[in-house]
Amino acid sequence: MKKIVTGLLIILCFVLILSSYNSPVIITEPLQPDTSSEDTGSMLNPNPVLPDSNDSRQEKPDPAHQIPDVPVLYGVGSYIAGDNIPAGLYVAVSDGSGESKVTIRESKTADIDTPEIIVTSRFVPTTGRFTDRPNYVEAIRRSGGIPVFPDDDPELASILRKGTTEYAEYADILAERYDGLLLTGGGDIAAHFFNQEHHPAANPPDEILDEAELALCRAFIMAGKPVLGICRGMQILNVATGGGLIQDIPDILGIPLNVHYGESARHDINVRPGTWLHSLLGPNVETNSLHHQSVNGVSPGFTVVAYTGPVIEAMERGNLLGTQFHPERMLDEGMEPFFEEFIYRCSFNYIAIELFTTFTIINIRENQYIDVDGAYLQSIESSSGMFDPAFDANGFYAEGMYLAGTHIPEGIYKLSAYGDAMFSSYIIYDALSHDSIRKSGSLTKSDTHVILGRGQYIKLINAVMTPR
C-alpha cells in the first residue's frame, strides 16, 4: 500500500508541476518512412511532427542544435539521437499509463538475423564427452537463435576441457566471434573464487569449468554482449563480477533443503515491478527449484529482480540476467518469451533497456535509436522545475535515480530500505557507466549515510533517501 501511495503522490506532483509550467511541446510522433528522400537506405523521418497542426511552433526546428523557449517533452515514439532528439542526459518520467520503458539501440534493425549463442557444458574425462544440454539447446533454437555447443567449436571445447591455464586468450576470441553467452546449470563453484573457505555441505567443484566459465563471462561483459546465467550460471555471473555465494541454504539460512532442491520442488517467486523479468512474466510466477546454494547479495550495479524470502531468484544489470530457477525446463509453461527476449537482445550489437516505475536518468549518445514507451523524456539541462523530485509525504526521496547538484542538493543523505522491502540497495556513479561505480551496498539490514558530490548519480533500489 505504501508503494502505491508513493507512486500516486509522485504522479500527482508531476501533473501539478506541469499545470503550473509553460505549456510543453510534446513530441509523440513515431519515426515514419521518409519517401521524399532519394536515399533509399535512409527510411527514418528526421523531423518529428509536433501534435497541434495549428501551433505556430510547428516549424520543424532541429532539436539537436536549438534550445527551445518552451519545455520539450519527447513522448511515446521512436527517435534518432542527433537527428530528431539531441544526444545527452535525459530525465525519463512515467506518463502514468502503466509500465514505462526506454530502449536504446545502436541500429534501427537487428544486425544479426539468427544470433549464435554459446551454450556452456561440463567435460567429463571418464566418458570423453561434454554433458548433454538438450533443454538449453532447444530453448535457444525455438527462440530464433543458433546454439553453439562445445562440439561445434574446437576453441570453445578446448577452454571448457582444459581451462584457462593453456587457453586464456580463447575467451576473448569467442566473445568476439559469437553474439551471446548462456551459462548453464551444474555443480558448486570452488569457494576460493569468491574468497571463502570450502563449506562441508558444498560438493566437490570442477575448477577447470569454473575458470573457463568465469573467463567467458568476463570476456562477454567486456565485449558488451548479453549474458544469461541459469542456476549455477547466475552464480558464475555474480562471482565473475565481484559477488559471493551462500554455500548451503539449509545451514546458513535455516531453510529446509526440500524447499529449494528437488526435481519436483516448485514455489512462487516475487518479481519486482519495472524489471525485465516483470515485463515478461508479471509479479508472481511459480517456478521449479533445484539448488542448495544461492547468490549472497549481488555484485555492484546489479538489481535483485526476484526473490523467495531471503533467497535471490533473479538479478539483472543491463544485458546481464541471471535466474536461480530453470526457465529452459518450463518452455511450455510460459517461459518461451523469456528466451525470445534474450535472443532479441543478442540480435543487436548493443541494446539497453531501462524499465522504471517513476523516473530515472538516461544517457543517450549520438546516432543511437531510442524507443520510448509509457514515458516522457526531457533534457536534463532544461528539466529544472518540471522534473525536480518532490519529497514523499514522509519526507524522503523515493526510489529512482538522482543527479546531485542538479535535481537534488549535494551533501549528506541517509539511505534506508523502503518499508518492509526484502532487498534494498543503492549505487553511486561518477558517470552513467557501469565502469564508473564509486560505491554500492545493501540497505536490507541497516541504514547507511553517504556523501554526494556535485555531478554524482545515485540510484535507489527498493530504498529511500533523506537529507541530513
Which pLDDT tens digits describe the chain residue by residue (468 residues)? 555 545 555 555 544 444 444 556 777 654 544 433 333 332 233 333 333 434 333 344 444 444 445 678 899 999 999 999 999 999 998 888 877 899 999 999 998 999 999 999 999 999 999 999 999 999 999 999 999 999 999 999 999 999 999 999 999 999 999 999 999 999 999 999 999 999 999 999 999 999 999 999 999 999 999 999 999 999 999 999 999 999 999 999 999 888 888 888 899 999 988 788 988 888 888 999 999 999 997 888 888 999 999 999 999 998 999 999 999 999 999 999 999 999 999 999 889 888 887 788 999 999 999 999 999 999 887 765 566 665 666 778 888 888 998 888 999 999 999 887 788 889 999 988 767 888 888 888 889 999 999 999 999 988 999 998
156 domain-assigned: yes
Within 10 angstroms of residue 326's Cβ, the number of other Cβ atoms is: 20
Strand, coil or helix: 241:
coil
Residue 406 lies in a domain: no
pLDDT at 69: 57
Q: Which three cell numbers stand for residue 458?
A: 545515485
> Is the torsion defined by CA of 171, 174, 179, 184 positive or negative?
negative
Which residue, 256, 265, 315, is CA-closest to 286? 265
What is the SS3 assignment for 245?
strand
153 with 235, same domain? yes
Task: Judge if 187 and 331 occupy the same domain.
Answer: yes
Question: Cell 548453464 maps to which residue?
Answer: 184
pLDDT of residue 349: 85
Q: Does 451 fall in a domain?
A: no
Do residues 274 and 307 share a domain?
A: yes
| 59 inside domain | yes
Looking at the structure, tell me whether residues 36 and 91 fall in a common domain: yes
User: Which ranges of 241-305 does DSSP label H, i.e. alpha helix?
Assistant: 249-253, 257-260, 276-281
> Same domain, yes or no, for 37 and 164?
no
C-alpha span between 325 and 267 (Å, rounded) = 10
Note whether 156 and 269 are same-domain residues. yes
CA 218, 223, 226 angle in degrees (round to 5)?
80
Co-location of 151 and 245 in the same domain: yes
Residues 242 and 377 in one domain: no
Would you say the pTM of this structure is higher than 0.95? no
The confidence score (pLDDT) of residue 389 equals: 63
Residue 50 lies in a domain: yes
Cα–Cα distance for residue pair 92/359, rounded to 1 Å: 5
Name the CA radius of gyration of the chain, rounded: 23
Per-residue pLDDT, 440: 87
CA distances from 371 to 28, 74, 414, 437 (A): 11, 10, 35, 26
d(CA 188, CA 233): 10
Domain that holds residue 46: 1-106+355-390
DSSP 57: T
- Domain boundary among the residues 390, 417, 451 is at 390
pLDDT of 392 reads 66
Residue 442 lies in a domain: no
State residue 39's pLDDT score. 37
pLDDT of residue 338: 94
Give residue 64's pLDDT.
44
Please indicate, yes or no, whether residues 149 and 231 belong to a single structural domain of this protein: yes
362, 341: one domain: no
Strands 25-27 and 72-74: parallel
Specify whether 276 is located in the same domain as 168. Answer: yes
Which residues have a catalytic role annotated? 231, 326, 328
Report the alpha-carbon distance of residue 174 to residue 131 in Å, rounded: 20
Assigned domain for 262 exists: yes
Point out the domain boundary residue: 311, 328, 346: 346
Exposed e or buried b per residue across 213-222, where buried means at least 16 C-beta atoms within 10 angstroms of its C-beta: bbbbbbbbbe
Q: Which of 281, 316, 346 is the last residue of a domain?
A: 346
Tell me what pLDDT residue 354 has: 86
Contact 443, 416 (CB under 8 A): yes
Q: How many folded domains does the chain comprise? A: 2
Measured distance CA(143)–CA(134) in Å, rounded: 14
Residues 327 and 362 occupy one common structural domain = no
CA distance 184 to 453: 41
